[in-house]
């Protein structure tokens, strides 16, 4: 439905404008969460709602949080132990909500830290939780057991992303664990190569056991006094090591490739390494990349991006910044599905485009013998599907009603052109008919 699609494009623009505003601080915090995801296998992002001021994002260090899953394997409980200064606590809760100890020390010791516990869990498991909100929230000063605030969330505010998990595992495994042996080996190889390079640039000295005045001065232009009487060789020489840097570099490069494979770097270098490819080859490579990325990207979409978008849209709806729902969406009670259009998501859908183009190429050979075979294809539907797979914005494509109106106008213009072109011939025929008519009787 074009009306619904255009509405969601407007919603998407509103979401991105708030997400990437300077106050939200999304880009830097999401980058930190991705670093944690790649290094440790688990990344956490706190999406906070500031009443009247929009979204706030904050990356959470893995050492601060303790996770628990529900029966479906989704993270629905978090205990977070963090530190805040007296000044930060006063900014967050005000002087009336903090403990008397903090309130009395905030002016004298504004930068002194206090351990804070934040608990988020389903309201049904929290006796005093607000029933109208699915998730209860509790902030507490650990040292004094002073409760700072008790409220709730309409959506789970912590976006926890896990790279991959095994059975009965709550915390994720990172690609670094897969390549850990190669990473450690590469570090040791690098140490050896550095030592060999130092010896090659600044080699050790061979010094005769007699006739040399120590210590030697190895600074540029400085003299050293040695006994040179009749010796065939100098009493001080450089020891030239026979280091094989080529062997070391070959082994290191092999380890680097293994590490890059674990972190999926190789997948994104295909087009760079082979720039001279046809459009069909590019689509085929994109299809292969999509198949290999499906497991990783699919998990991030279902476990991290989907809940984050639902959280953001919920906050935007409560802020009243979203446009009114179209009638079709009102009838559907506002239900929607999230469709991802990032380059990696399009790579996953490239299989559809490859299948369409392959079919058309194969059918062209049949159409050379039997042209009627092309009647089974809906060209307009194929063009719309390819545009959708390639991520063309909906506002750049005419809707079905507008397309039908353009087609009708074009047909009308063609008919008028045909009439105008045939008008001289029709006039000649009419004139000849009049000339050939017999004269009326007297």
Claim: this prediction has a pTM higher than 0.95: no
The Cα–Cα gap between 381 and 16 comes to: 29
The answer to whether 45 and 29 have CB atoms below 8 angstroms apart is: yes
What was the pLDDT predicted at 114? 94
The Cα–Cα gap between 268 and 275 comes to: 12
Q: Which residues 6+ apart lie within 8 Å of 373 measured at CB?
A: 363, 366, 367
The Cα–Cα gap between 126 and 135 comes to: 9
- pLDDT band with cut points at 50, 70 and 90 for residue 429: low
Strand-pair category, 158-162 with 135-141: unpaired
What was the pLDDT predicted at 229? 65
What was the pLDDT predicted at 106? 86
**Per-residue pLDDT at 304 exceeds 70:** yes
Q: Is 363 left (phi over 0), alpha (psi -120 to 50) or beta?
A: alpha
Residue listed under structure tokens 């989907």: 306
The tokens describing 109, both together, are 């010791």
Exposed/middle/buried for residue 150 (C-beta within 10 Å: 0-12, 13-18, 19+): middle
Instruction: With residue 76 as reference, give the H or E element that holds it.
Output: strand 75-85
Exposed/middle/buried for residue 278 (C-beta within 10 Å: 0-12, 13-18, 19+): exposed
* SS3 category, 141: strand
Beta-ladder partners of 80: 65, 118
80-135: pLDDT as tens digits: 999 999 999 999 899 899 999 999 988 899 999 999 999 999 988 876 545 688 99
The tokens describing 353, both together, are 């485009």
What was the pLDDT predicted at 112? 93
The Cα–Cα gap between 11 and 316 comes to: 9
The answer to whether 416 and 423 have CB atoms below 8 angstroms apart is: no
C-alpha closest to that of 403 among 421, 387, 415: 387
What was the pLDDT predicted at 41? 92
**How many angstroms from the chain centroid is the CA of residue 193?**
36
**Per-residue pLDDT at 343 exceeds 70:** no
The Cα–Cα gap between 45 and 35 comes to: 12
Q: Give one DSSP letter per residue of 316-382, joined into a string.
A: HHHHT-SPPPPHHHHHTTT-------SHHHHHHHHHHHHHHHHHHHHHHHHHTT-GGGGGG--HHHH
Residue listed under structure tokens 């750049």: 396
Read off the pLDDT of each residue in 344-351 and give the average, rounded to a whole number. Answer: 66
What was the pLDDT predicted at 166? 86
C-alpha closest to that of 113 among 151, 146, 80, 142: 142
Segment of 27-41, 124-138, 392-406 carrying the highest mean pLDDT: 27-41
Distance spanning both ends of the chain, measured CA to CA: 73
The Cα–Cα gap between 138 and 128 comes to: 10
Top pLDDT among 324 and 224 is at 324
What was the pLDDT predicted at 186? 92
Computed over every residue of the chain, the mean pLDDT equals 83
Instruction: With residue 404 as reference, give the H or E element that holds it.
Output: helix 400-436
Q: Which residues 6+ apart lie within 8 Å of 299 measured at CB?
A: 162, 163, 164
The Cα–Cα gap between 92 and 150 comes to: 14
What was the pLDDT predicted at 42? 95
Q: Is 52 left (phi over 0), alpha (psi -120 to 50) or beta?
A: left
* Residue 303: HSE in the Cβ half-sphere, 13 Å Cα cutoff: 25
Exposed/middle/buried for residue 39 (C-beta within 10 Å: 0-12, 13-18, 19+): middle
Computed on alpha carbons and rounded to an integer, the radius of gyration of the chain in Å comes to: 36
List the strands of the sheet with 135-141, edge to edge: 65-69, 75-85, 113-122, 135-141, 146-153
C-alpha closest to that of 291 among 342, 344, 341, 343: 344
Beta-ladder partners of 164: 173
């Amino acid at each position: 439905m074009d009306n619904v699609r255009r509405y969601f494009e407007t919603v998407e623009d509103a979401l991105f404008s708030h997400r990437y505003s300077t106050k939200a601080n999304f880009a830097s915090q999401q980058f930190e969460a991705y670093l944690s995801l790649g290094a440790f296998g688990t990344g956490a992002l706190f999406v906070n709602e500031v009443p009247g001021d929009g979204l706030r994002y904050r990356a959470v260090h893995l050492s601060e949080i303790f996770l628990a899953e529900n029966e479906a394997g989704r993270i629905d409980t978090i205990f977070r132990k963090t530190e805040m200064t007296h000044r930060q606590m006063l900014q967050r809760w005000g002087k009336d909500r903090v403990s008397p100890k903090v309130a009395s020390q905030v002016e004298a010791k504004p930068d002194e830290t206090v351990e804070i516990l934040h608990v988020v869990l389903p309201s049904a498991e929290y006796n005093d939780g607000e029933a109208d909100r699915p998730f209860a929230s509790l902030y507490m000063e650990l040292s004094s057991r002073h409760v700072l605030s008790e409220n709730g969330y309409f959506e789970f505010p912590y976006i926890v992303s896990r790279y991959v998990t095994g059975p009965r595992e709550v915390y994720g495994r990172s690609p670094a664990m897969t390549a850990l042996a190669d990473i450690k080996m590469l570090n040791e190889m690098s140490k050896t190569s550095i030592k060999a390079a130092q010896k090659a640039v600044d080699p050790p000295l061979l010094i005769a056991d007699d006739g040399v005045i120590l210590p030697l001065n190895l600074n540029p232009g400085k003299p050293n006094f040695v006994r040179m009487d009749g010796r065939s060789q100098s009493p001080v020489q450089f020891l030239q090591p026979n280091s094989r840097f080529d062997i070391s570099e070959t082994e290191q490069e092999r380890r680097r490739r293994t590490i890059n494979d674990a972190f999926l770097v190789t997948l994104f270098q295909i087009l760079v390494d082979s720039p001279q490819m046809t459009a069909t080859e590019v689509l085929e490579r994109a299809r292969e990349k999509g198949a290999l990325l499906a497991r990783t990207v699919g998990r991030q979409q279902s476990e991290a991006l989907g809940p984050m978008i639902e959280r953001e849209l919920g906050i935007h709806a409560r802020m009243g910044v979203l446009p009114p729902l179209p009638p079709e969406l009102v009838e559907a009670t506002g239900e929607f599905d999230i469709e991802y259009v990032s380059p990696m998501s399009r790579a996953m859908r490239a299989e559809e485009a490859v299948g369409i183009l392959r079919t058309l190429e194969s059918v062209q050979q049949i159409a050379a013998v039997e042209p009627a075979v092309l009647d089974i294809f809906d060209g307009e539907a194929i063009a719309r599907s390819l545009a959708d797979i390639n991520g063309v914005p909906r506002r750049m494509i005419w809707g079905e009603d507008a397309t039908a109106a353009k087609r009708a106008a074009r047909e009308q213009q063609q008919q008028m052109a045909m009439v105008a072109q045939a008008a001289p011939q029709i006039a000649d025929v009419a004139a000849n008919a009049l000339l050939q008519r017999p004269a009326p009787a007297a």
